[in-house]
Structure 1
Amino acid sequence: MMRALALLLAFVAGPASAVTCADDTFEGHSFTACTVDAATEDLRLFHRNADGGVLGGWTALGASVAPQSVQFAMNAGMYHDDRRAVGLYIQNGVETAPLVTRAGPGNFGLLPNGLLCLTDDSANVIESLTFELTKPACRDATQSGPMLVIDGKLHPRFIPDSPSLHVRNGVGTMADGKTAIFAISNDAVNFDTFGRYFRDVLKTPNALFLDGSVSRLYAPELNRADFGFAALGPIVGVVQ
């Protein structure tokens, strides 16, 4: 837990370099968490190149924005076979997929789900029905599900001893609306463990599951660039 405490202190200590990433452990599981100050760093969503082709991974992302400028990247939500976003997707103010609020099969439909809403100086995880009611302006947004933590409480349908184990990634945001913490499990965990990591260690009042099994992280600070055979859909990243 000492590393978890050091990680949390780094998150709340104030402005840092573009991204601060650190490995961590929780209940015998390995995690990597990266914090971004959205008020000072350029945190954005990426999906397609200038020709409309799906980026799909770190090499194409780097080529589209200059490789040396990518400080951090992670897959950022579920997608169809053709790499279209499953739920709401907004990039640079342009909506290309609508908000989905109905229950359905799979993790996305395990309500409540939510979305990550980015502006030029803020980052917030918002539950989908709340977003539909309040309609906050998002420069970029990606919807996924389920929510991991909702106003400080774990998703009500998580099962502590669930045998559904996968490598998973997600994002949590602090109440200040400025700090986003992206985390990935480095071994297989269930939703309950992953949600409690955000709630109890990272202390994010709201957190969102982004995906599982295909979860990947690009963190040059840690000399890490996860490889996968299948192309990704939406990607979230910090460029400098």
Structure 2
Amino acid sequence: MKMRKARTPIIGKLPLRKGTIGFRLFLYTEASKRSAEVKKYAKASRIIIYFIDRSPHLVTGNNIELISLQFLHRQSFTEKIEQLSEEYDILAIVGTVQFEYNDIPYFSLIDIFNDDHLKKLNSIICKDEPYSEMIQTLENHLTMVPSVSRLVQRLRKVIVNLELQLNVNLKEDIVIGMILHMAFLVENMKLQQPGRIFPNMEEYYNSHKEEIAKVKEVLKDIEIEYDIKLTDGEIAYICQMCLENQQL
């Protein structure tokens, strides 16, 4: 599979403070052919803007471009996202119709008014300094990954998706630790090193079938992009990390 080079963030429509790092938040609304439905979704679009307005820290010091799209046909919408992904770092999708594309986190309009989910959305566009240092460190150790920056970017989104799917909140130090763990895991799998054996795997699987299935689904895009196959043991370890390190 052809690896796509990580894109350098492009300055958007909102003001930047000197020295800040650019990000993009991708928002969409859906509409139908009926005028009543269009009016309803137009109102939802204003709610999204109001959400941003009432949370200025989401835009202050960050380069965030808000892109609003109409959802008329799933296929054409998917094609539009594919086009945008060539130019933008799409951080999240927010809307009223469940839509999944690769590892981009999805938030419903209700989610963004939930404190826990708002924190997750904030974590996506938070300050980038710890991750910049992480990338520099990993570049000295990872030899099988074409772009360490892109890998870290993908893994940050994976963590958010894991939190959403498992309904957990992870502290920032845990998130950083998990990204490091998974980055080296990808490297080891590329080197065809054997995965670790999870103790009492059958017992853990039987008591966490649903959670493990969700973790597998979230990690599927990483497996496809990097042409690896994660072992059941490694997936169980990632599941355990999420469940046992959640904030109460």
Question: Could you tell me the TM-score, scaled by structure 1's length?
Answer: 0.28
Higher relative CO (Cα under 8 Å, sequence separation at least 6) belongs to: 1
Task: Identify, as 1 or 2, the structure richer in helix.
Answer: 2
Higher Rg of the two aligned structures: 2
- Superposition TM-score, scaled by structure 2 size: 0.27
> 1 or 2, which has the higher strand percentage?
1
